[in-house]
Amino acid sequence: MTAVEVGMQIDLDNLPALSLGCTVFAGGGGGDPRIGELMAMEAIHRLGPVEVLPLEALDDDDLIMPCGMIGAPTVMVEKIPNGAEGRVIREAYEGRFGRHVAAVMPFEMGGINGVLPVAWAAYAGLPLLDADFMGRAFPELQMLTPHLYGMSGSPAVITDERLQTIVFNTRDNIWLERLVRNCVATLGGSACGGLYPMTAGAARRPAITGTVTRAIRMGEAIRRGGEDPLSAIGQVAPLTRLGQGKVVDIERRTSGGFVRGSALVEGLAADKGRLFRLEFQNENLVVLEDGEPLATVPDIITLLDLHTGHGIVTEGIRYGQRIEIVAFPSPEVWTSPEGLSAVGPRAFGYDFDYVAVGVRHG
Amino acid sequence: MTAVEVGMQIDLDNLPALSLGCTVFAGGGGGDPRIGELMAMEAIHRLGPVEVLPLEALDDDDLIMPCGMIGAPTVMVEKIPNGAEGRVIREAYEGRFGRHVAAVMPFEMGGINGVLPVAWAAYAGLPLLDADFMGRAFPELQMLTPHLYGMSGSPAVITDERLQTIVFNTRDNIWLERLVRNCVATLGGSACGGLYPMTAGAARRPAITGTVTRAIRMGEAIRRGGEDPLSAIGQVAPLTRLGQGKVVDIERRTSGGFVRGSALVEGLAADKGRLFRLEFQNENLVVLEDGEPLATVPDIITLLDLHTGHGIVTEGIRYGQRIEIVAFPSPEVWTSPEGLSAVGPRAFGYDFDYVAVGVRHG
């Protein structure tokens, strides 16, 4: 997406910016990054900064470990990871493949999953790849780019705070989603996992590159943005404003390893008199007005705090919040026919097609 | 339990006797052995008889593979195994432990699980151990003798007819039961699995020996028994007759990977006027009369067809069947305080204690 910044590190200075950037690019999902940020802070404090490596810096044969948390963000914020999950996942893969992991990679770039792998990389003494397999956050395990290229998410490893492990080898990624989701629910609603392990050579096609450094730049821009965070955000990524308003209703339930729900937003200022309905499954899926979609997955729909510009995760939406509803264009790979069939509105049960924000708005 | 018959084989002649004996010792559970019998028949037909080996014949270091089907017997009879599950489980263990499996062992001696491992042993060219870890059939994964000795059921491997594999390493056997049961339900209600893998040396204490040859002897006795199968059965194992009658009501539901239900039996002949209530969870758990337990787990409660002496599995109970309700004493290990806490009536939610059939009846 963007040129790689060679020689970059994640340290105690720019970690909060990464965390902040993750709230914007998550599309409301991936869980509140605060816990991941604290765990990464502790790891960096003890072991030093984490090197951020462009995918090109790895040899074709190098093994990469895409990883993160899986489950309902509402649960993740209360069911704190043990800290050793990254090591357990790495050991499972190293035992399985008979060689060392060369780099850690967030499987999605958003929420807690943009920062927790930083902690795991620090503890392992490994670099973090400047890439992920979503270019945002999505709720299901077949919603990663390698799936579009017919690549398998197996062997997948999940582990919980008791460091129990479950290793899956499934026939396809839909079965993987079904089985992992069920185990995660049995484990209490969230767990840590490794998915789609592959060599750097195999990752070159599906990887969405530059997403770690982009999130850091986004966070830094918001912190510098002062009174006008929206302009600062718009300078890092093309932003479409969908409407400004106040949250007047929020409905949310955690079931089957997901958090699903909706919010009503009453327009304020220039948008007075408008009523927006936001629907989510871990991530924000669609924004509707008078029953018509204003924006849909896979575009990244984010609620920004009107004053700070911080992204609001779906489990953090509260009555009375003053927010700006914005959208960023989806990573290109998701807007192909195959991409939309995996993550477009119809993949989530909606009876309408993808509405590209750049086309209808902005 | 009984002296081991050295040099015994399972061939096309005595396989039906094994299958028949399994219906008697299953306590109603373990699934109708017919499918396992057909699979073993095919394997023996192609590859020759399976050697039955006493545990003493193995070296302490030899790796044994306890295996069978897991799930609801109602589902097992319709969701036919692929045939290659035994190989997949064996390969998973051999990869994990870095050495060959020396012998296959049924983890429970009852129903399909007494005969399906015969097929797997034939395909692998391995002997079948004359032992199991239950001495009957039980519905849950912590209800195996090694659990009483503090031994772990992990790593456990499950696989389905699509040959997907899931490998579990859990903190304890209760977590193993919970996670495996959930995956089995997700896989459609039944799957094949390996549990409590261990060396022959480790198995010497928990193994209940002689159970394969005892089931064969039981089946042969019933086939020879002619007009009086009950006497023939009583000559192989001490049998307590609880009552004779006709099934007048049967209620059965399959949920969460189990089949649960109850049957009402109206007394006939000498038992005319009596009413028995049988309750089961895969296996028969208790027989009640006027609200009082006549027999309970871990004693082996079996419904025998009044005319043939064949055991009736819980999913095979039908309105109008003429049956004899009998019980055999539990393997001794289960009647210790630890044993009863794992598999006694209270472990299944009943508010009364174990009633030993030998004490109250017979």
Report the pLDDT averaged over residues A271-279: 97
Distance from the first to the final alpha carbon of chain A: 20
Q: Which residue of B has its CA nearest to A88?
A: B169
- Distance between CA atoms of residues B176 and A70, nearest Å: 20
Q: Is A178 within 8 Å of B186 when comparing Cβ atoms?
A: yes
Q: Does A82 touch chain B (CB under 8 A)?
A: no
Nearest to B179 among A163, A166, A169 (CB): A166
Quick one: what percent of chain B has pLDDT higher than 70?
97
Q: Which residue of B has its CA nearest to A171?
A: B164
Task: From chain B, pick out residues whose CB is under 8 angstroms from the CB of A171.
Answer: 162-164
Q: Is A162 within 8 Å of B178 when comparing Cβ atoms?
A: no
Residue B74 φ/ψ, nearest 5 degrees: -60, -35
Assign B225 a pLDDT band (cuts: 50, 70, 90).
confident
Structure tokens at B177: 């039961």
The winner for highest mean pLDDT among A151-155, A354-358, B83-87 is A151-155
- Distance between CA atoms of residues A41 and A23, nearest Å: 17
Specify whether the CB–CB gap between B49 and B41 falls below 8 A.
Answer: no
Residue B134 φ/ψ, nearest 5 degrees: -135, -35
Task: From chain A, pick out residues whose CB is under 8 angstroms from the CB of B169.
Answer: 164-166
pLDDT tens digits, one per residue of B272-286: 999 999 999 989 999
Task: Pick the range with the lowest mean pLDDT from A244-248, B7-11, B194-198, B350-354.
Answer: B7-11
Q: Which residue of B has its CA nearest to A177?
A: B186
Report the pLDDT averaged over residues B225-237: 88
Q: Is A164 within 8 Å of B187 when comparing Cβ atoms?
A: no
Pairing of β A128-129 and β A275-281: unpaired
- Distance between CA atoms of residues A349 and A315, nearest Å: 21
How many CB atoms lie under 10 A from the CB of residue A338? 13
- Distance between CA atoms of residues B118 and B86, nearest Å: 10
Structure tokens at B359: 């004490």
How many CB atoms lie under 10 A from the CB of residue A78? 11
Quick one: what percent of chain B has pLDDT higher than 90?
84
Q: Side chain identity at A354, as an amino acid letter?
A: Y
Structure tokens at A357: 């924000």
Structure tokens at B335: 């009647």
Question: Which pLDDT does position A355 carry in this prediction?
Answer: 92
Q: Which residue of B93, B176, B181, B182 to mutate against A (max A Cβ within 10 Å)?
A: B182
Q: Is A164 within 8 Å of B182 when comparing Cβ atoms?
A: no
Q: Is B182 within 8 Å of A187 when comparing Cβ atoms?
A: no
Q: Side chain identity at B155, as an amino acid letter?
A: P
Taking 80 as the threshold, does the pLDDT of residue A6 lie above it? no
Task: Pick the range with the lowest mean pLDDT from A109-113, A193-197, B71-75.
Answer: B71-75
Q: Is A179 within 8 Å of B169 when comparing Cβ atoms?
A: no
Chain A neighbours among B 134-193 (CB < 8 Å)? 162-171, 175, 178-179, 182-183, 185-187
Distance from CA of A159 to the nearest CA of B (A): 9
Nearest to A120 by CA among A160, A96, A85: A85
Q: Which residue of A154, A157, A159, A183 to mutate against B (max B Cβ within 10 Å)?
A: A183
> A33-69 burial string, b = 16+ CB within 10 Å, else e?
bbbbbebbbebbeeeebbbbbbbebbeeebbbbbbbb
SS (H, E, C) A255-321: ECCEEEEEEEEEECHHHCCCEEEEEEECEEEEEEECCEEEEECCCEEEEEECCCCCEECHHHCCCCC
Mean pLDDT of chain A: 93
For chain B, domains (ranges, CATH) are 9-211 (3.40.1610.10), 228-360 (2.40.390.10)
Q: Is B169 within 8 Å of A166 when comparing Cβ atoms?
A: yes
Structure tokens at B361: 């009846």
Question: Which pLDDT does position B359 carry in this prediction?
Answer: 57
Task: From chain A, pick out residues whose CB is under 8 angstroms from the CB of B168.
Answer: 164-166
Nearest to B164 among A162, A163, A169 (CB): A169
Distance from CA of B342 to the nearest CA of A (A): 22
How many CB atoms lie under 10 A from the CB of residue A253? 11
Structure tokens at A360: 């209808």
Task: From chain A, pick out residues whose CB is under 8 angstroms from the CB of B161.
Answer: none
Report the pLDDT averaged over residues B154-164: 97
Q: Which residue of A has its CA nearest to B187?
A: A179
Task: From chain B, pick out residues whose CB is under 8 angstroms from the CB of A93.
Answer: none
Q: Side chain identity at B243, as an amino acid letter?
A: G
Q: Is A164 within 8 Å of B171 when comparing Cβ atoms?
A: yes
- Distance between CA atoms of residues A196 and A202, nearest Å: 10
How many CB atoms lie under 10 A from the CB of residue B125? 10
Question: Which pLDDT does position B4 carry in this prediction?
Answer: 46
Q: Which residue of B has its CA nearest to A183?
A: B179
Question: Which pLDDT does position B361 carry in this prediction?
Answer: 40
Distance from CA of A267 to the nearest CA of B (A): 44
Q: Is B166 within 8 Å of A171 when comparing Cβ atoms?
A: no
**Could you give the C-alpha distances from A338 to A299, A344, B252, in angstroms and in order?**
15, 9, 44
- Distance between CA atoms of residues B343 and A318, nearest Å: 49
Taking 90 as the threshold, does the pLDDT of residue B124 lie above it? yes
More confident residue, A34 or B165: B165
Specify whether the CB–CB gap between A101 and A65 falls below 8 A.
Answer: yes
Taking 90 as the threshold, does the pLDDT of residue B155 lie above it? yes
DSSP B79-119: S---S-HHHHHHHHHHHHHTS-EEEEEESS-SGGGGTHHHH
Nearest to A164 among B170, B182, B186 (CB): B170
Nearest to A280 by CA among A252, A238, A307: A252
Report the pLDDT averaged over residues B236-250: 95
Indicate left, alpha or beta for B125 from its phi (over 0: left) and psi (-120 to 50: alpha). left
Mean pLDDT of chain B: 93
In this complex, how many residue pairs, one in chain A and one in chain B, have their CB atoms less than 8 Å apart?
A: 50
Task: From chain A, pick out residues whose CB is under 8 angstroms from the CB of B93.
Answer: none
Q: Which residue of A has its CA nearest to B169?
A: A165
Question: Which pLDDT does position B226 carry in this prediction?
Answer: 77
Angle between helices A211-225 and A229-236 (to 10 degrees): 160
Specify whether the CB–CB gap between A219 and A19 falls below 8 A.
Answer: yes
Angle between helices B211-225 and B229-236 (to 10 degrees): 160
pLDDT tens digits, one per residue of A48-90: 999 999 999 999 999 999 999 998 877 777 888 888 999 999 9
Q: Which residue of B has its CA nearest to A160?
A: B170
Distance from CA of A90 to the nearest CA of B (A): 15
- Distance between CA atoms of residues A218 and A211, nearest Å: 10
Task: Provide the CA B157 distance to its chain's centre, in angstroms.
Answer: 19
Specify whether the CB–CB gap between A206 and A133 falls below 8 A.
Answer: yes
pLDDT tens digits, one per residue of B177-209: 999 999 999 999 999 999 999 999 999 999 999
Place of tokens 């579009």: A148
Task: From chain B, pick out residues whose CB is under 8 angstroms from the CB of A175.
Answer: 162, 164
- Distance between CA atoms of residues A135 and A33, nearest Å: 16
DSSP A203-226: HTTT-EETHHHHHHHHHHHHHHHT
- Distance between CA atoms of residues B51 and B40, nearest Å: 13
How many CB atoms lie under 10 A from the CB of residue B292? 9
Assign A258 a pLDDT band (cuts: 50, 70, 90).
confident
Nearest to B195 by CA among B64, B73, B85: B64
Angle between helices A211-225 and A15-25 (to 10 degrees): 100
Nearest to B179 among A169, A175, A186 (CB): A186
Nearest to A168 among B166, B169, B185 (CB): B166
Cis link prior to A155 (omega < 30° from 0)?
A: yes
Q: Is B179 within 8 Å of A170 when comparing Cβ atoms?
A: no
Task: Pick the range with the lowest mean pLDDT from A8-12, A27-31, A255-259.
Answer: A255-259
- Going by C-beta distance under 8 Å and a sequence separation of 6 or more, which residues neighbour residue A294? A242, A243, A276, A287, A288, A355, A360, A361
Taking 70 as the threshold, does the pLDDT of residue B95 lie above it? yes
Q: Side chain identity at A204, as an amino acid letter?
A: R
> A212-244 burial string, b = 16+ CB within 10 Å, else e?
bbbbbbbbbbbbebeeebbebbbebbebbbbbb
Task: From chain B, pick out residues whose CB is under 8 angstroms from the CB of A169.
Answer: 164-166
Distance from CA of B78 to the nearest CA of A (A): 21
- Distance between CA atoms of residues A156 and A203, nearest Å: 16
Assign B360 a pLDDT band (cuts: 50, 70, 90).
very low
Nearest to B301 by CA among B17, B20, B25, B22: B25
- In which order are the strands placed within the sheet that holds A240-255? A292-296, A283-289, A275-281, A258-267, A240-255, A322-328, A300-305, A311-312
- Distance between CA atoms of residues B35 and B112, nearest Å: 7
Q: Is B186 within 8 Å of A186 when comparing Cβ atoms?
A: no
Task: From chain A, pick out residues whose CB is under 8 angstroms from the CB of B158.
Answer: none
Q: Is B179 within 8 Å of A183 when comparing Cβ atoms?
A: yes
Specify whether the CB–CB gap between B25 and B112 falls below 8 A.
Answer: no
Q: Is A171 within 8 Å of B179 when comparing Cβ atoms?
A: no
